[in-house]
Amino acid sequence: MRDFPIGVFDSGVGGLTVVREIMRQIPNENIVYFGDTARVPYGSKSKDTIIKFSKQIVDFLLTKKVKAIVVACNTASALALEDLKREVDIPIIGVVMPGAIAAAEATRNEKVGVIATEATVNSNIYTHYLRDLNPNIQVYSKACPLFCPLVEENWLYDPITIEIADRYLSELIEYEVDTIVLGCTHYPLLRHTLRKVVGEKMNLVNPAYETAITLKNVLKEKQLDRLSKTNEHLFYVSDGAEKFKAFANTILPCEVMETNDVNIEQY
Residues in contact with a copy of itself by the rule CB under 8 A: 37-39, 44-46, 48-49, 145-146, 148-150, 152-153, 160, 163-164, 167, 238-240, 265
Q: Where are the beta strands (DSSP E) in 72-189?
A: 92-94, 111-116, 138-143, 179-183
| Amino acid of residue 48 | D
| Amino acid of residue 264 | I
Which residues are annotated as catalytic?
73, 184
Residues 6+ apart with CB under 8 A from 139: 112, 113, 114, 126, 127, 130, 131
H helical segments located in 26-95: 47-63, 74-87
CB 138 within 8 Å of CB 109: no
Does the bond joining 27 to the residue before it have cis omega, within 30 degrees of 0? no
Closest residue by Cα to residue 8 from 57, 81, 75: 57
Closest residue by Cα to residue 15 from 29, 34, 43, 31: 34
9 beta partners: 34, 71
Query: Under DSSP, is residue 177 helix (H, G, I), strand (E, B) or coil?
Result: coil
